[in-house]
Amino acid sequence: MKEQIQEILEEARRSIPSCESDKNLEELRIKYLGKKSSLSGLLSKIGTIPKEKRPQMGAFLNIVKKEIAQLIEQKKLELHEKADALKTLGLDVTMPGRPLPIGAKHPLYQIWEEIEDIFISLGFEVAEGPEIESEYYNFDALNTPSWHPARNPQDTFYLKGGMLLRTQTSPMQIRVMEQFKPPLKIISTGRCYRVDKMDPSHLPVFHQVEALMVDEGVTMSDLKGSLDSFVKRIFSADTRSRFRPHFFPFTEPSAEIDILCINCKGEGCKLCKNSGWLEMGGAGMVDPTVLEEVGYDSEKYTGYAFGLGIERIAMLRYGISDIRKLVTNDLRILKQFQ
């Protein structure tokens, strides 16, 4: 029996140090020390040897078991150290993580959403309307005289059958006022069309945002206030605006809106052509004729309207100097707007 035990020990002394993995080591542990191991088998047979030799044999068995257990424990530690070392060696934190997709909205539409959100936070509702419009909504109802040059086919796209492509978002003023009674506080956004050769500052297809507010007691101060709130948020808090007298058929008094040049803050630079001011759009108090046209009492109600070009705002915000960049759809541009 002693020889058998000796043999098992020798085998264990060989196999345990050459073991390569935790899993393997566990198998060896079961083999040598488990309930069904040969050592356990021998222990159960201890009753078959002479009584006087039993204690000695028992003690020997225990010593062997202890040694094997020690060997396994030592090996385990060794393996773990190795594994830790491997792990440290294998990790390179500067290697790229798994790349996940990133895309981007078109810069024009990013600005469009931002504009909508600002006006929504100022209590405006958003109305959308058709781009294919009638002459009535685009011109007549907006008090545009029949001789007005904007009506010319050199300026406005006409469709076969007499409809036209809206030249401004203002027809929505009429459509909304026809449908709802005051108070009204809306913006209308969308595509507009004008017969313009494509050049660094013109596209035949462009986008506008137009604000309209009608209620009792609406004044030109409200116009200036809401416009200022908007430009301060879309550009920066120190942006100022000024109004220059102008002519639009559907507002009276009418004005063109300038903002203090966002680049030079009025000092004069290339962007503002040294004027210190940037032209932003048109504005005014809604002409009583327009209010009467939709059946509002123009003595009771007053209103203001202003319209801004979305491309213009996007160009200023992003520093794009050629409007055509907004329709090239070149990924080298689009990828800048993630």
Given the rule CB under 8 A, which residues bind other proteins?
A: 96, 98-106, 108-109, 113, 116, 123, 125-128, 130-132, 153, 157-163, 165, 176, 179-180, 183, 185-186, 191, 193, 195, 197, 203-205, 326-332, 334-335
- Count of beta carbons in the 10 Å neighbourhood of residue 56: 11
Of the pair 3, 330, the CB lying nearest other proteins is at: 330
C-alpha to C-alpha distance for 128 and 141, rounded to whole angstroms: 18
Q: How near is the Cβ of 273 to other proteins at its closest, in Å?
A: 27
* DSSP state at residue 181: P
Of the pair 17, 183, the CB lying nearest other proteins is at: 183
Measured torsion, CA atoms of residues 62, 66, 71, 77, in degrees rounded to the nearest 10: 160
Of the pair 16, 165, the CB lying nearest other proteins is at: 165
Q: Do 294 and 178 contact (CB within 8 A), yes or no?
A: yes
Q: How near is the Cβ of 310 to other proteins at its closest, in Å?
A: 11
Is residue 81 helix, strand or coil? helix
Q: How near is the Cβ of 197 to other proteins at its closest, in Å?
A: 8
Closest alpha carbon to 207 in 333, 68, 314: 314
Of the pair 36, 160, the CB lying nearest other proteins is at: 160
Q: Which amino acid is at 113?
A: E
Q: How near is the Cβ of 151 to other proteins at its closest, in Å?
A: 12
Of the pair 8, 323, the CB lying nearest other proteins is at: 323
Q: How near is the Cβ of 39 to other proteins at its closest, in Å?
A: 42
Long-range pairs for 267-274: beta carbons < 8 A, 24 or more residues apart: 271/316
State both tokens at 290.
């327009």
Which residue's structure tokens are 């257990």? Answer: 69
